[in-house]
Structure 1
């Protein structure tokens, strides 16, 4: 039997989700369900976020990375208790056995003051954002307007995921009632070609519930076709969002939905910029297995707190670099 040719993630029109035509909506839900069971990746067009806001946010991203290193280090991630700030080039390693990754980043989130109840309670990934005076109020305003827009879209996508599982549209409402998310600006210089271990970002699965990615037109994002072992390019579509599921959703659905390996290999001569939004819902929510996703013998897996599950994965990826540095200097 000849195996099917591997195909890149589908490009889907999200306007059908808001359509008054039940047939169009059902077709979209079926397409999303199929994509989630396959690679856990798809692209969305006609999602409702304006091209003007996308352009402004991408410009803000480039503006940040154009700053001198000394300025960016004023908000170094290592100084933050809330997972916010500047990620130095080469500080993360998601794929074990590779070189530290050829990227730098900026972590932002919902801008909560230190006296906010969620911050006082110590919820993971909850707190204030560090803002640089050099970038002014306009930078902050654009970032937070974009955060709100993409969080709203993520909530809609999650409703579509629920329908794809045969659940009611609002099944995840408790989980999304006080959501947490990370807005991440990433700059990828051209990936070095002198070492087979070099990566823009190494092969990994995302940690949370879903990711909504706005990428520029340089390209370099690849998703693994697990059946063939082939890496497939996720070709940029102007204005579209790459949507992929994370480990939290895969675990929650008992692997009915998939969280797939992906990486970035920027072998162009250009700098690449991307802006993922990592959505992980209520950090205090306790999850085990979604109804209907139990295994053949009724296996459901252990109950876990979202924030604890997220922190465990995040710490592992950064500790790999520290462990490698320790070995190199010992």
Structure 2
């Protein structure tokens, strides 16, 4: 009988150390997680706990702003996914409602004279910062300090994953050089405990689009991972200081489906507000994603044709946001159809 396994907590510190046996165990444990469901948690990394706490406070300060002030930096004011996202803007799971979360999208500061901006590369442009938030300079500084720290950690995670594939830790440097990554501040409003979780999920069941995601959770919880062998939903318990790490669709494609991009969701049934900060590492937009070494048996063909990071992730974005817009239009039509027509008055 198969036993469901929640994503384990791995000590990442041997990656930086000189203990070869401990590092070998870390590589082996990480390989097992990637083969099983692509999810694990890590502690012992180099992102300071004080910085994690400070950036979570930044997220809460932003979402405490009045809606009209958050809407001043609506991400729909640009084409490169920077700024505020209103509740129910995205829909990742067919059959649910648009998701009960709001967000602030942040990335590397890309000026309008940067080649990425001029060439309309993936999510590349200047950040939109809230102008009315108290101590906005500190807000911006803390946010970007954290962004860069997690960017470096994501590169370390990919170096470790390279070792699990039996290649040098520098293998993914062409992917990580000039990489695009998007960070989100996310806020999930409290839901009544009897709320229909099918229609009012924080995030519907989905897989991530890019290469690797690093998630910082608050203490509330709500993240669940589908255990495929048992078809059970498993809670990913928040651990202070730890990151939830998971592979995305782009990595699974490169791994010829050997390493997994697994289904997960958020259902906030706690009766409390929930905050989280996912960091989506896509990669260099022009990097051509092809089948990785040691990801197919002798004579086994690659399952997927080569594709750039840009094309893969952009296509996934369009599907999820288009799904939400289509749902809203259907609901509006349904509402209009159910409105009683005014009676004609004859004279």
The alignment's TM-score, normalised by the length of structure 1, stands at 0.97
Measured in 1, the distance between the counterparts of 2:279 and 2:228 equals 25
Secondary structure at the counterpart of residue 12 of structure 1: strand
Measured in 2, the distance between the counterparts of 1:296 and 1:83 equals 42
Aligned match for 1:95, one of 89, 93, 115:
93
Aligned match for 2:24, one of 18, 23, 26:
26
* 1:212, distance to aligned residue in structure 2 (A): 0.4
Aligned match for 2:326, one of 318, 323, 327:
323
Matched ranges for 1:214-253 at <5 A = 214-253=216-255
Q: Say whether 1:173 aligns with 2:177.
A: no
* 1:309, distance to aligned residue in structure 2 (A): 0.5
Secondary structure at the counterpart of residue 245 of structure 2: strand
Matched ranges for 1:283-294 at <5 A = 283-294=285-296
Q: Say whether 1:208 aligns with 2:206.
A: no
Measured in 1, the distance between the counterparts of 2:297 and 2:262 equals 20
**Aligned residue in 1 for 2:337:** none
Aligned match for 1:307, one of 300, 307, 310:
310
**Aligned residue in 1 for 2:52:** 54
Q: Choose 190-199 or 129-138, whichever is displaced more.
A: 190-199
* 1:203, distance to aligned residue in structure 2 (A): 0.3
Unaligned runs of 5+ in 2: 334-347
- Assess if the C-alpha contact under 8 Å between 1:214 and 1:241 holds in 2: yes
- Assess if the C-alpha contact under 8 Å between 2:183 and 2:279 holds in 1: yes
**Aligned residue in 2 for 1:194:** 195
Matched ranges for 1:114-129 at <5 A = 114-129=112-127
* 1:325, distance to aligned residue in structure 2 (A): 1.8
* 1:197, distance to aligned residue in structure 2 (A): 2.4
- Assess if the C-alpha contact under 8 Å between 2:222 and 2:266 holds in 1: yes
Residues 284-317 of structure 1, C-alpha deviations (whole Å, 9 max, x = no match) = 1111211221356432220101111101001111
Output the aligned Cα RMSD. Answer: 1.1
Aligned length: 328
Measured in 2, the distance between the counterparts of 1:129 and 1:226 equals 38
- Assess if the C-alpha contact under 8 Å between 1:45 and 1:240 holds in 2: yes
* 1:256, distance to aligned residue in structure 2 (A): 1.1
Matched ranges for 1:64-79 at <5 A = 64-79=62-77
The higher radius of gyration belongs to: 2
Secondary structure at the counterpart of residue 148 of structure 2: helix
Measured in 2, the distance between the counterparts of 1:131 and 1:102 equals 23
Measured in 2, the distance between the counterparts of 1:175 and 1:37 equals 21
Matched ranges for 1:123-162 at <5 A = 123-135=121-133, 136-162=136-162
